[in-house]
Structure 1
Amino acid sequence: MANTSTRTLRLLSLLQTHRYWPGEELAERLGVSARTLRRDIDRLRELGYPVEAQRGVDGGYQLAAGAALPPLVIDDEEAVALAVGLQAAAESPVEGIAEASVRVLAKVVQVMLARLRRRVEALRAMTVPVDWGGRPAAAVDPDGLTVVALACRDAERLRFSYTAADGRRADRHVEPHRLVCLDRRWYLVAYDLTRQDWRTFRLDRLTAPEGGGGRFAPRELPAADAAEFVRAGVNGLVRPYRVEAVVAAPAGGVRERIGRWGAVEEVDEGRCRIVMAADDLNWPIMALGSLGAEFTVVEPPELVERLGEWSSRFGRAVRASR
């Protein structure tokens, strides 16, 4: 059996992982009796951790909100993931999150072990953020994002007001499943209790989310995962432009570079065809240009015209720079 200090840290880590733990399950995970578990809970309370207990047959424990944020217990992999995630959040579309992310990142890196700090610095040095110049990031309220994330984690029903693409506003009552960030937008995948079907909601169109609507048993999502469900829905939307081009490069390399923005199929050993749906023609031009290979536009004609405009502009820039 682990010593008391190690077991207490393990208990704290488990309490921070889930909102609520049944007492019997928590004791089993720690390999201790219910009596020993109660003593360990009391020890955490003495250290300032606000652990709440629910008595009865279905009793259990949960880590409540306190007057101050207590120290968190995270392992090496979680520490590196936290630092890398904060770096990404510094360029996030969530309003007001960038400055806070930078402050927290500085605190985390400062107390990291040297070997972990080297891993974070290597990831930061070798990672290049990409902006394809398309639509701007959709701003999301960070408080609302937190409410939705907690509801997903704790399998609690959620209520909010939602504005559809046509401007109609309605109150929604859902069983939240997962949050997905795709193409600089946040989406909530949830089971809509009113419409009795799975739906995808853009978080920038969602207001006043309220959790605590009761627990539910998770349903089976009709897709391999939440990201695939969102991607299928987004690709199914009607967009102004269907872009098709033949690229003089192997399909594998093209798929690796820009496959997430379109369907890539092999034409022959040295050529492939890519099909994309776009709201704006500028980002397909940048995507195709980033491949470093010759390509021919099949459609639409507007893309050929836009390419001509870019070519003329770049040509003038080259002549002016000589």
Structure 2
Amino acid sequence: MLETSARLLRLLSLLQSRTDWTGAELAGRLQVGLRTVRRDIDRLRELGYPVDATPGVAGGYRLGPGAALPPLLLDDEEAVAVAISLRTAATGSVAGLEEGALRALAKLRQVLPSRLRHRVSAFQAATVPLAGAAAPAVGADLLADLAAACRDRRRQRLRYRGRDGVTEREVEPHRLVHTPWRWYLLAWDTGKDDWRTFRVDRIEGPLSLPGARFTPRPLPQDDVAAYVSRSITSAPYRYQARILFHAPLAAVAPRTSPGAGRLEAVDAHTCRFLAGSDSLDDLAVYVATKGFDFEVLEPPELVPVLRALSDRLSRAAGPEER
């Protein structure tokens, strides 16, 4: 059995990891009785942690927003610094930290006082990123709300800008997946009765209040990133391309993006690239600049576009020096 101080930290961690807990669930996780759980909840409240309780058979505990930042964790300056850092990481400027930053930001926002939220928002409003290429803007608050919905397994109603305009979609959020340029939400669409991949920059915020809990469904495949990559590259584009690169997959993979298309190994020396696009010119430039010999398997319309691109590049390069 954990000592009191260690048990309090464990209890606090549990309350931060999920929105709602019953007393029996907490007692089971901590391996103590319900009376001990109630005493520990009272100790957390004395330390300044806003733990809300709901009476009754279906009641339980949740960590709510407080009037002041709970002690023993972060002071105001540290809290602002952490929130700003998490926002920066969540937007993809720090590679490899996006998912962890979203989880941490969702926890911090539960207890961040309003005065500190204003300071963080002021920083975000006054900061202009210098990007090398245009990327869809996605708010950190929207990402954090979606991450919380995935974590808490709560249904969410989205206003989504698709090909047919803005539509209302009720979904069961499961995972957030990101590429270097875009964020995607993998969710079960209750109206379509199927899995759907939503571009987060096309979701209109702020989100509505989270809905009822849902029981997680079996994911369409174990590799969620591979599934989303297949979904976004085989969308109903005008052209579907199949390119055979005369190079091993390990050599081609670092020069391609999962958001642009997917690679399949053919043998030790070749790989196949599958991608969709509404522009043959974009496809031609993308595959021609990978730095490997290739041949077009589909579509046949891409071949004359590549010939025209080759002629244009030859003219731009000028005559060969003798």
Q: State the match for 2:308 in structure 1.
A: 305
Tell me which amino acid in the other structure corresponds to 1:231.
S
Gaps of 5+ in 2: 75-83, 106-131
Q: C-alpha distance in 2, partners of 1:190/1:68?
A: 35
Query: RMSD value over aligned CA atoms?
Result: 3.8
CA contact (8 A) 1:297 1:304 kept: no
CA drift at 1:23: 1.1
- 1:178 paired residue number: 175
Match of 1:235 in 2: 233
Whether the 8 Å CA contact 1:175–1:191 is kept in 2: the answer is yes
| Alignment CA distance shift 1:71-1:240 (3 Å) | farther
Distance change in 2, residues 1:84/1:257 (3 Å): farther
Match of 1:61 in 2: 61
Percent identity over paired residues: 42
What is the TM-score when the length of structure 2 is the normalising length? 0.68
State whether residues 249 and 271 of structure 2, in contact with CA within 8 Å, keep that contact through their aligned partners in structure 1.
yes
1:73-152 matches, cutoff 5 A: 86-87=88-89, 89=91, 91=93, 136-152=134-150
Q: TM-score, normalised by structure 1?
A: 0.68
- What residue identity is the alignment partner of 1:199? R
AA partner of residue 188 (structure 1): L
Q: Is contact 1:297-1:303 (8 Å) kept?
A: no
CA distance in 1, matches of 2:223, 2:268: 32
CA contact (8 A) 1:244 1:276 kept: yes
1:8–1:40 CA contact under 8 A, matched in 2: yes
Distance 1:257 1:227 in 2: 18
- By how many angstroms is 1:309 displaced? 3.9
CA distance, structure 2, for counterparts of residue 71 and residue 177 of structure 1: 33
Residue 218 of structure 1 aligns with which residue?
216
Q: Distance in 2 between matches of 1:41 and 1:219?
A: 33
Match of 1:119 in 2: none
The code of the aligned residue for 2:168 comes to D
Distance apart, 1:89 and its partner CA: 3.0
Question: Counterpart of 2:18 in structure 1: which amino acid?
Answer: H
Report the alpha carbon displacement of residue 25 of structure 1 after superposing the two structures with TM.
Answer: 1.5
Q: For residue 308 of structure 1, report the CA deviation from its aligned partner.
A: 4.6
Give me the whole-angstrom Cα distance separating, in 2, the residues matched to 1:170 and 1:295.
Answer: 41
Q: What is the match of residue 20 of structure 2?
A: 20
Displacement of 1:269: 4.7
1:150-183 CA distances to partner (integer Å, 9 max, x unpaired)?
Answer: 222212221232222133x222222222222246
Query: Cα deviation per residue 1:68-90 (whole Å; 9 max; x = unaligned)?
Result: 4436979xxxxxxx979954635
Paired residue total: 270
Where does the alignment leave 5 or more consecutive residues of structure 1 unmatched?
75-81, 105-130
CA deviations on 1:216-261 (whole Å, 9 max, x unpaired) are 2223333335434433322222334544544342344334653733
AA partner of residue 305 (structure 1): A
Question: Is the 2:249–2:265 Cα contact (8 Å) retained in structure 1?
Answer: yes
1:279, distance to aligned residue in structure 2 (A) = 4.8
Alignment correspondent of 2:275: 276
Structure 2 counterpart of 1:230, one-letter code: V
Look up the match of 1:202.
199
Query: What SS does structure 2 have at the residue aligned with 1:39?
Result: helix
Q: Are the counterparts in 1 of residues 47 and 70 from structure 2 also a CA contact under 8 Å? A: no
Give 3-state SS (helix, strand or coil) of 2:235's partner: coil
Q: Assess if the C-alpha contact under 8 Å between 2:48 and 2:71 holds in 1.
A: no
Of the structure 1 ranges 209-218 and 34-43, higher mean CA displacement relative to structure 2 is found in 209-218
Report deviation, 1:26. Answer: 1.0
Can you list the C-alpha shifts for 1:124-159, whole angstroms capped at 9, x where unaligned?
xxxxxxx8x7xx422223333332222222122212
1:257 and 1:282 map into 2 onto residues whose CA distance is 16
The question of whether the paired residues in 1 share the 8 Å contact of 2:249 and 2:263 is answered with: no
SS in 1 for 2:176: strand
